[in-house]
């Protein structure tokens, strides 16, 4: 039997670095952290067995420096690198550089990344193998071509960059006269963000759900799926709350979507963990793209399947076969993940990086918190605003929602503005409770901003420091009153 690695470098920061390190510790594998100037005091650096400085705070001078990461791994004696998510995780140059340096890459092979990294080529690959895709075009080169395609497909359409993600550059066009400005804006944003102005058109599906399927494969040709995640609660095309299973997916639909996802992954020669994303409307689903990495929201799948996805990633990267077959995968209960971001929802979710003054994570039955922060730690302005992931599990969706509300009420996080009160408003929404979701949920529920205000000044029952502060303030005010009264009688 092939052995596991003795030492792994984690080429990331924050909660995902710690998540991978925890799996390594349980497997008896030593870990190496990398860190920037902004992360000198970061928890992920202290959690690792050793750490290596890789540059200044901006990602372009540290976490995006592939040569420094490869050198750090080689110098430390690591045998493999886990990329986490974001940064370099989906760049084919990463596994290629690992191979050249005789390091294992804990992710998909470069060839699969090349096939899936471009949305146009991944759409063509999916369609060729019978996976349903929305009506769309190839690369659009000019306005006349876009106009003809839009009229043929039927308005509304959505313009998408071929080489990007995260909702950057996506433009919905409802009327023909909007096409010119939307096309120019999308191409310019794609060029600035991804270095590639190529865009294409798709039929825009009104009020769709965003459903994704977790897949994982080994190096022996086996690929299986772990079911779906509902990811429709989004701001600026970026997810903030996910759950599994989806309230809208039946066992029959799950089987069909899972089969389609596995088909797409196998067609690309995929191995390791990945996610196949679909839009879902009126019982029908359409291929969107493949995220060739571990997803932020993977914990909800772990909670309902009982499978540790990160450990499985490590095993298959070491050459092991998958430790289970498709028929072994079962789903039980319901899980919800809330992204606790250092953002101000009242200001269009503007990032609010600050030092955390008070911190106490919730606990109790069915509660998991993944984070790279704690009391007196700094949330840097250089990186993503994610501070923590609060994941809850219940016997059913109703219990999971109740448990999520309880856990959010317990969460003490003072300093930056966060999405905690906004999540409480979402969970209290009658439409959310009824499972009436779409990617337009936030835009369609502006009342959530007002609803969250009632939670802003609420003191968590776990926030003893705030209670003590208020008592001290009250005591000081009482003493001041007594003294002023005494002076008045003198």
Q: 2 — phi, psi (to 5°)?
A: -65, 140
SS (H, E, C) the chain: CCCCCCEEEECCCHHHHHHHHHHHHHHCCEEEEEEEHHHCCCHHHHHCCEEEEEECCCHHHCCCCHHHHHHHHHHHCCCEEECCCCCCCCCCHHHHHHHHCCCEECCCCHHHHHHHHCHHHHHHHHHHCCCCECCECCCECCHHHHHHHHHHHCCCEEEEECCCCCCCCCEEECCHHHHHHHHHHHHHHHHHHHCCCCEEEEECCCCCEEEEEEEEECCCCCEEEEEEEEEEEEECCEEEEEEECCCCCCHHHHHHHHHHHHHHHHHCCCCEEEEEEEEEECCEEEEEEEECCCCCCHHHHHHHHCCCHHHHHHHHHCCCCCCCCHHHCCCCCEEEEEEEECEEHHHCCEECCCECCEEECCCCCCEEEEECCCCCCECCCCCCCEEEEEEEEECCHHHHHHHHHHHHHHCEEECCCCCHHHHHHHHHCHHHHCCCCCCCHHHHCCHHHHHHHHHHCCCCCCCHHHHHHHHHHHHHHHHHHHHHHHHHHC
Residues in a beta bridge with 275? 214, 291
Q: C-alpha distances in angstroms, 473 versus 290, 306, 356, 359, 478? A: 54, 48, 21, 21, 9
Neighbours of 3 (CB within 10 A): 9
Q: Which two tokens stand for residue 123?
A: 């759409």
Spatial CB neighbours of 225, under 8 Å, sequence gap ≥ 6: 213, 214, 215, 258, 259, 261, 262, 326, 329
The residue annotated as part of the active site, out of 209, 229, 293, 315, is 293
Give catalytic status of residue 293 as yes or no.
Answer: yes
CB crowding 54-77: b at 16 or more within 10 Å, else e: bbebebeebbbbbebbbebbeebe
Tell me how many degrees the CA angle 345-44-14 measures, rounded to the nearest 5: 25
Active site residues: 293
């Amino acid at each position: 039997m092939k052995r596991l690695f003795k030492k792994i470098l984690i080429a990331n920061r924050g909660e995902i670095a710690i998540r991978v390190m925890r799996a390594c510790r349980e497997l008896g594998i030593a870990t190496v952290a990398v860190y920037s100037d902004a992360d000198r005091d970061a928890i992920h650096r202290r959690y690792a067995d050793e750490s290596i400085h890789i540059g200044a705070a901006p990602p372009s001078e540290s976490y995006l420096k592939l040569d420094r990461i490869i050198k750090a791994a080689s110098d430390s004696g690591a045998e493999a690198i886990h990329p986490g998510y974001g940064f370099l995780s989906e760049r084919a140059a990463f596994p290629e550089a690992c191979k050249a340096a005789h390091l294992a890459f804990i992710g998909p092979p470069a060839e699969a990344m090349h096939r899936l990294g471009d949305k146009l080529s991944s759409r063509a690959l999916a369609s060729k193998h019978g996976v349903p895709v929305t009506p769309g075009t190839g690369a659009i080169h000019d306005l006349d071509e876009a106009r003809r395609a839009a009229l043929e497909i039927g308005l509304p359409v959505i313009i998408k960059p071929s080489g990007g993600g995260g909702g950057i550059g996506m433009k919905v066009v409802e009327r023909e006269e909007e096409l010119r400005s939307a096309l120019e804006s999308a191409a310019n944003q794609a060029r600035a963000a991804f270095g590639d102005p190529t865009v294409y058109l798709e039929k825009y599906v009104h009020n769709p759900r965003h459903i994704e399927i977790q897949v994982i494969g080994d190096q022996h040709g086996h690929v299986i799926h772990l079911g779906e995640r509902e990811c429709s609660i989004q701001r600026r095309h970026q997810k903030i709350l996910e759950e599994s299973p989806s309230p809208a997916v039946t066992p029959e639909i799950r089987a069909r979507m899972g089969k389609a996802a596995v088909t797409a992954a196998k067609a690309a020669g995929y191995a390791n963990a990945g996610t196949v994303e679909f839009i879902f409307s009126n019982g029908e689903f359409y291929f969107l793209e493949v995220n060739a990495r571990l997803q932020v929201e993977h914990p909800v799948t772990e909670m309902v399947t009982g499978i540790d996805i990160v450990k499985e990633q490590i095993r298959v990267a070491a050459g092991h076969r998958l430790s289970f077959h498709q028929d072994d995968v079962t789903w039980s209960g319901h899980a919800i993940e809330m992204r606790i971001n250092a953002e101000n929802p009242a200001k269009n979710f503007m990032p609010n990086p600050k030092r955390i003054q008070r911190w106490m994570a919730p606990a109790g039955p069915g509660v998991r918190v993944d984070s790279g922060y704690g009391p007196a730690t700094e949330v840097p302005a250089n990186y993503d605003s994610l501070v923590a992931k609060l994941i809850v599990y219940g016997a059913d969706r109703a219990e999971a929602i109740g448990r999520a509300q309880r856990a959010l009420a317990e969460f003490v996080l003072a300093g930056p503005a966060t999405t905690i009160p906004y999540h409480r408003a979402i969970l209290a929404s009658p439409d959310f409770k009824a499972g009436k979701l779409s990617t337009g949920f936030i835009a369609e529920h502006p009342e959530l901003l007002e609803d969250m205000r009632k939670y802003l000044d609420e003191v968590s029952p776990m926030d003893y420091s705030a209670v003590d502060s208020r008592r001290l303030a009250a005591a000081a005010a009482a003493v001041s009153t007594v003294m002023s009264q005494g002076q008045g009688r003198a």
